[in-house]
Amino acid sequence: MSIDLTKLDTEKVNRNTVNIDRANTVEMLTLMNNEDFTIAEAVKKEVKNIAKAVDLVYERLSKGGRLIYIGAGNSGRLGVLDACECPPTFGVDEGTVIGIISGGYDATVRANEGSEDIEEGSIEQLKKIGLSEKDAIVGLSASGRTPYVKGALKYAKEIGASHIAISCVKDAEISSLGQVAIEIITGAEAITGSTRLKAGTAQKMVLNMISTCSMIKCGKTYGNYMIDVRARNNKLIERSKKIIMDCTSVDKETAEKYLKESDGNVKTAVFMILSGLSKDDSIEVLAKNHNTIYKALQALKK
């Protein structure tokens, strides 16, 4: 089946960069940087739809479901990247946020673009991970027409999972397949059709927003601190101590003491200090209040 690329915003010729191959290095970089300035504004226009996506994802996560990113090529790799970042940042299990890319794991480091044309491929992979109505999937396609992503969104709807479509073109084909459609119109790329540039940056920005805000709503932060950070290296151990100190105004020695008493759990350590409760009581009160510190503190006051 032939594809009319002229209809896709991401395939248009950028008149600002037609002479980029004749520019010196500074001019070349300036041309690209000028294009990048437009990305945040394009994302801003979709904030209301991104908010709808966050609420759908949070609703599933809060009931024990999963967030699953699925895409092909650069879009798929961005989903895998965001999923990989969630466990160390927010302390979630590795199976809570999943990134699936057409072509499988090897496609994260070696392009396998042909696999994106097979709708059934995504369905097979979603069945392998046991996608259910408890989960939320985010389908990523810069062009908004990738068959692999279409198949995933159709299957998610069929089984009752939340399904969100993210593209970088207006009136994208996948938009009609999503409960929520996010269209970030970044326009013509500095290099025609190279969606790893503006479109890729825009998609990563939106994924940052979806995962971060969903986790905030799940109680994974206290203020703007990563209260569920996993301290698995020296840098993160020191960060954990600093979070405890900043959130409770205790000194480093006290922070170290409570971090040890809480078995390295920063959230528990902070709540123990703020509430005056023991470790076991802190864990119990937090569990009764969605594992959210400010909600647990409010409950104690009542």
**Active-site residue among 85, 119, 256, 261?**
85
Return residue ranges of the chain for CATH 3.40.50.10490.
Answer: 6-217
Return the higher-pLDDT residue of 59 and 110. 59
Q: How many of the other CB atoms lie within 10 Å of CB of 277?
A: 18
Q: What is the pLDDT of residues 10-31, one digit of tens each?
A: 889 999 999 999 999 999 999 9
- At residue 276, φ and ψ (nearest 5 deg) are 80, 10
291 pLDDT higher than 70: yes
Return residue ranges of the chain for CATH 1.10.8.1080.
Answer: 234-301
- 74 near 80, Cβ under 8 Å? no
**Confidence at residue 299, expressed as pLDDT on a 0 to 100 scale:** 94
Q: Which homologous superfamily is 6-217 in? A: Glucose-6-phosphate isomerase like protein; domain 1 (3.40.50.10490)
- 150 near 179, Cβ under 8 Å? no
**Confidence at residue 6, expressed as pLDDT on a 0 to 100 scale:** 63
Return the higher-pLDDT residue of 170 and 111. 170
**Confidence at residue 119, expressed as pLDDT on a 0 to 100 scale:** 84
184 pLDDT higher than 80: yes
Known catalytic membership, residue 261: no
**Confidence at residue 114, expressed as pLDDT on a 0 to 100 scale:** 67
- Alpha carbons 180 and 127: distance in angstroms, whole number: 22
Confidence of residue 3 (pLDDT cuts 50, 70, 90): low
274 pLDDT higher than 90: yes
**Confidence at residue 108, expressed as pLDDT on a 0 to 100 scale:** 81
183 Cα distance to chain centroid: 16
Q: What is the pLDDT of residues 203-240, one digit of tens each?
A: 999 999 999 999 999 999 999 999 998 878 899 899 99
- 215 near 86, Cβ under 8 Å? yes
194-227 per-residue burial string, b: 16 or more CB within 10 A, e: under 16: ebbbbbbbbbbbbbebbbbbbbbbbbbbbeebbb
**Confidence at residue 302, expressed as pLDDT on a 0 to 100 scale:** 80
Known catalytic membership, residue 116: yes
**Active-site residue among 11, 46, 116, 189?**
116
Q: What is the pLDDT of residues 38-67, one digit of tens each?
A: 999 999 999 999 999 999 999 999 999 999
Going from the C-alpha of 83 to that of each of 78, 151, 270, the distances in angstroms are: 9, 21, 26
Per CATH, the number for 234-301 is: 1.10.8.1080
